[in-house]
Amino acid sequence: MTVRTIPTFPFEGQRPGTSGLRKRVTVFQQQGYLENFVQAVFDCVPELVGGTLVLGGDGRYYNKEAIEVILRMAAANGVQRCLVGRGGLLSTPAASAVIRKHKASGGLVLSASHNPGGPEGDFGIKYNIGNGGPAPEKLTEAIYARTQTLDRYRTQDTKDIPLDVIGHYAIGTMAVEVIDPVADYAELMESLFDFDAIRALFQSGFRMRYDAMNAVTGPYAREIIEGRLGAPAGTVINGEALPDFGGGHPDPNLTYAEQLVAEMFGANAPDFGAASDGDGDRNMILGRKFFVTPSDSLAVLAANATLVKAYKKGLAGIARSMPTSCAADKVAEKLGIECFETPTGWKFFGNLLDAGRITFCGEESFGTGSDHVREKDGLWAVLCWLNVLAVRREPVEQLLREHWARFGRNYYTRHDYEEVDAVDAKGLMQHVIDQLPTLPGKTIAGRTVKLADDFSYTDPIDGSVSKNQGLRIVFDDGARIIFRLSGTGTVGATLRIYIESYEPDPGKHDQDPQIALADLIKAAAQLSELGERTGRDRPTVIT
Ligand code: G16
């Protein structure tokens, strides 16, 4: 088997976004497109030579083909050992767990997360470093720069590895181990949570529905929830991991997790509902006829952390992304621990976790996690909730109401405008940027603007600065309006408007967030000339 050097030429637009490179499948299928990106990673990460690489993905269309391409390239680039999930599967948090457990140099995770799959859908790839977390911006920028100058990639002729069969194989001098994608992860979960207590909860008649959305967490949830925790068969729905996610949109929110939402808001609803996304790092938590916002979920888990086996000693600190509601800040304040506000993107939590400054972190985009891995972790959040419920034995809604009574309620909503013309979206953002210096002191929606800026973050650990991370308008009563362009879309631009207000009075905790926030929603539209500039009169998705 000889290593071959194949001439290539740079493709435009290979800059990783919020979480890796995401494009249409058809873009990735172009000869050299995937290869160039992967070669750029090998060129920028010298420790992969002679090191261990973890490889797996969410099982979407093109996953297996891409894995075979990457295996050949890894061998040709001097990787010594490659761990691949059986069937090419590894959820994103499981990939992080495997990288950490086996002390790998890094991993390539193939996923476009919650974006639809199939031949007409999306594909994606990202590199995770040795701590198990997404590559920091410095590295993703170096990888991007390399893609722009690349003129060759290395590969090796060999027949395909039988990805569906666990075992030891070789490509040239590289050892390939096809591993059980669930085992290491399930073992880690069992070390964090009180499985006996959760088993007892299920035995008491507690009913749960977990929607795997025909994506990667199906096998994980079946093994852990129905297998190890003894929940009745059928607790996990849509548990078959399919390459096109059954034609669905594997995004666990109130719009796309339709089947679960219908059941949880219907007659005789289960006590607890949860869903996860394409690659298993997102989660949605529901009670009976009750939606828990991801921001509240982080705050509730933080407030109850000492009830959970692994976190009995308390939390070092909490971090949330800037657009995430400030509910977690209230908890941190009461607990007397640090709270950090980072830009959107899990990669910004890595340094804080590595330095031991935070234990829990989360984002409004249905992401919650802890220091057990360096990715957000959908099933972890679900199990953490189950552990809390197993101790408190209260309905989810009651738990939330008690939380709000203690900490106040952060009313919160996010309005997404998807596939907006990119030039129009940029124009809208610029229009808001132009107004920022004039806003402080002004009265908008009956509130006084305290601060208006384009969010910039200085990493407290390595001092790196990330600019232009979203436009914030903060009011003197804690309310906020935030404008941001998504970094994960693949067509046009996705405009996200995040709206929040703080209500300390328990007598006022009963409103529908869309009504409680109506004046701020209207003000955001006026300020940004939303209708005029985008031609839209309503959001594509409201969460
Ligand atoms: C990714 C990132 C998250 C981010 C989310 C949304 O999640 O890992 O940190 O919050 O995208 O980003 P944006 O608002 O830029 O679209 P995932 O689940 O898509 O990998």
What are the tens digits of pLDDT across the range 59-114?
999 999 999 999 999 999 999 999 999 999 999 999 999 999 999 999 999 999 98
Give the distance (Å) from ligand 1 centre to CA of residue 169. Answer: 35
User: Once rounded to an integer, what is the mean pLDDT over residues 387-413?
Assistant: 98
Rg of the chain, C-alpha, whole Å: 23
CATH number for the domain spanning 164: value is: 3.40.120.10
Are residues 276 and 151 part of one domain?
no
pLDDT at 339: 98
Q: Rounded distance, CA 292 to CA 422, Å?
A: 32
Give the distance (Å) from ligand 1 centre to CA of residue 17. Answer: 9
- Confidence band of 490 (pLDDT split at 50, 70, 90): confident
Cβ–ligand 1 distance for 217 under 6 Å, the answer no
Nearest atom (ligand 1) to Cα of 348: 9
Are residues 369 and 262 part of one domain?
yes
Are residues 400 and 432 part of one domain?
no
User: Which of 498, 456, 506 is closest to 481 using CA atoms?
Assistant: 498
Q: How much of the chain, in percent, has pLDDT values that exceed 70? A: 100
Are residues 403 and 456 part of one domain?
no
User: Once rounded to an integer, what is the mean pLDDT over residues 311-324?
Assistant: 97
Domain of residue 388 covers: 185-407
User: Once rounded to an integer, what is the mean pLDDT over residues 191-203?
Assistant: 98
Cβ–ligand 1 distance for 349 under 6 Å, the answer no
Cβ–ligand 1 distance for 503 under 6 Å, the answer no
Q: Is residue 510 pLDDT above 90, yes or no?
A: yes
Q: Rounded distance, CA 117 to CA 119, Å?
A: 7
Question: Which of 340, 374, 407 is the last residue before a domain boundary?
Answer: 407
Q: Report the chain's mean pLDDT, rounded to a whole number.
A: 96
User: Once rounded to an integer, what is the mean pLDDT over residues 503-518?
Assistant: 96
- Which residue is it, tokens 């499948």? 25
Nearest CA to ligand 1 atom 17: 113
pLDDT at 1: 65
- Confidence band of 283 (pLDDT split at 50, 70, 90): very high
Are residues 209 and 122 part of one domain?
no
The beta strand positions in 235-392, using DSSP E, are 236-237, 272-276, 283-287, 290-292, 317-321, 338-342, 360-363, 367-370
Are residues 467 and 372 part of one domain?
no
Cβ–ligand 1 distance for 87 under 6 Å, the answer no
Q: Is residue 489 pLDDT above 90, yes or no?
A: no
Are residues 262 and 335 part of one domain?
yes
Cβ–ligand 1 distance for 540 under 6 Å, the answer no
Question: Which of 369, 387, 407 is the last residue before a domain boundary?
Answer: 407
Nearest atom (ligand 1) to Cα of 365: 10
Are residues 379 and 246 part of one domain?
yes
Tens digits of residue pLDDT in 6-54: 999 999 999 998 789 999 999 999 999 999 999 999 999 999 999 999 9
Are residues 423 and 320 part of one domain?
no
pLDDT at 203: 97
Q: Rounded distance, CA 155 to CA 158, Å?
A: 9
Q: Rounded distance, CA 109 to CA 186, Å?
A: 19
Nearest atom (ligand 1) to Cα of 18: 15
Are residues 437 and 374 part of one domain?
no
Bridge-based pairing of strands 152-156 and 471-475 is unpaired
Does the reported pTM lie above 0.85? yes
Tens digits of residue pLDDT in 128-142: 999 999 998 899 999
Nearest CA to ligand 1 atom 14: 486
Residue 179's H or E segment, with its range, is: strand 174-179
Q: Rounded distance, CA 326 to CA 320, Å?
A: 8
Give the distance (Å) from ligand 1 centre to CA of residue 2. Answer: 40
Give the distance (Å) from ligand 1 centre to CA of residue 388. Answer: 26
Q: Are 315 and 489 in contact (CB under 8 A)?
A: no
What is the tally of structural domains in the chain? Answer: 3
User: Once rounded to an integer, what is the mean pLDDT over residues 116-129?
Assistant: 94
User: Once rounded to an integer, what is the mean pLDDT over residues 213-228?
Assistant: 96
Are residues 495 and 418 part of one domain?
yes
DSSP lists the bridge partners of residue 290 as 287
Q: Maximum CA pair distance of the chain?
A: 73
Q: Is residue 57 pLDDT above 80, yes or no?
A: yes
Tens digits of residue pLDDT in 355-369: 999 999 999 999 999
Are residues 297 and 431 part of one domain?
no
CATH number for the domain spanning 427: value is: 3.30.310.50
Question: Which of 361, 386, 407 is the last residue before a domain boundary?
Answer: 407
User: Which of 433, 92, 417, 409 is closest to 280 using CA atoms?
Assistant: 92
DSSP lists the bridge partners of residue 52 as 81
